């Protein structure tokens, strides 16, 4: 990400499952993210080339899927609920020990569906249907016009007490976070914002634009 303009490139995690679980013809490659990195003047990591990408969330289709414990949390979402996506972004010309935790996207929930119920014509819209899905895979669909990738990231984190955590002033505005002391590093359970209405009003004041694309 560019710390001056807050422009960023969305680069998802690798597909952890064996390529044998991906439906033939539905593979997504890191090759499609090279041009976006180049647009910021950054060379794409050679170690990722040739690997399959777990493109989730997929902002081009306004979908997000998950499974196991996180999938159980997602099943409880209803229309109008909010999912916020954040990431640890590496500033240009810095190393991976200096990350900026920032919001990169938001969905206002349209509906939640079981991945195995998705018709073949829609398999290419989410990572959990591009592969042979399991019974506990669920997918969220975001409302068009109210959901998408941010045109610029919104920094929210700081290094505090040995971990990346939400800044204290933002915790106050949002009414707190379900995790201890605003902890936002990767965990088995999805954290939730205690006052989502206050959070949503705060985010709308940031002057961001929602994009229906990944980069």
Q: DSSP letters along 59-93, please?
A: TTTTEEEE-HHHHHHHHT--TT-EEEEEEEEPPTT
pLDDT at 80: 97
pLDDT tier, 195 (very low <50, low <70, confident <90, very high otherwise): very high
Is residue 187 a contact partner of residue 70, using CB atoms and an 8 Å limit? no
pLDDT at 50: 84
- The stretch 156-166 carries a mean pLDDT of 95
pLDDT at 19: 57
**Tens of pLDDT along 51-102?**
899 999 999 999 999 988 888 899 999 999 999 999 999 998 776 678 999 9
- For 54, the token pair is 């777990």
- The stretch 99-121 carries a mean pLDDT of 96
- The stretch 11-16 carries a mean pLDDT of 89
- What are the structural domain ranges in the chain? 57-207
Separation CA 181–CA 208 (nearest Å): 27
Separation CA 54–CA 11 (nearest Å): 10
Give yes or no for residue 16 having a pLDDT over 70: yes
pLDDT at 20: 63
pLDDT at 189: 82
pLDDT at 187: 74
In this structure, of 66-75, 100-109, 126-135, 196-205, the range with the lowest mean pLDDT score is 66-75
């Amino acid at each position: 990400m560019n710390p001056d303009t807050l422009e960023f490139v969305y680069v998802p995690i690798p597909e952890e499952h064996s390529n044998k679980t991906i439906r033939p013809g539905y593979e997504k490659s890191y090759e499609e993210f090279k041009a976006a990195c180049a647009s910021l003047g950054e060379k794409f990591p050679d170690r990722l080339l040739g690997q399959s990408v777990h493109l989730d969330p997929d902002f081009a289709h306004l979908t997000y899927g998950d499974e196991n414990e996180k999938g159980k949390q997602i099943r409880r979402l209803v229309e109008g609920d909010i999912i916020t996506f954040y990431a640890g972004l590496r500033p240009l010309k810095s190393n991976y020990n200096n990350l900026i935790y920032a919001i990169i996207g938001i969905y206002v929930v349209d509906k939640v569906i079981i991945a195995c119920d998705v018709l073949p014509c829609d398999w290419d819209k989410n990572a959990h249907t591009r592969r042979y899905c399991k019974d506990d895979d669920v997918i969220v669909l975001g409302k068009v016009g109210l959901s998408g990738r941010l045109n610029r990231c919104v920094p929210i984190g700081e290094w505090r007490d040995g971990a990346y955590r939400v800044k204290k002033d933002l915790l106050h505005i949002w009414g707190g976070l379900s995790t201890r002391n605003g902890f936002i590093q990767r965990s088995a359970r999805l954290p939730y914002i205690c006052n989502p209405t206050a959070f949503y009003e705060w985010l709308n004041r940031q002057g961001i634009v929602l994009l229906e694309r990944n980069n």
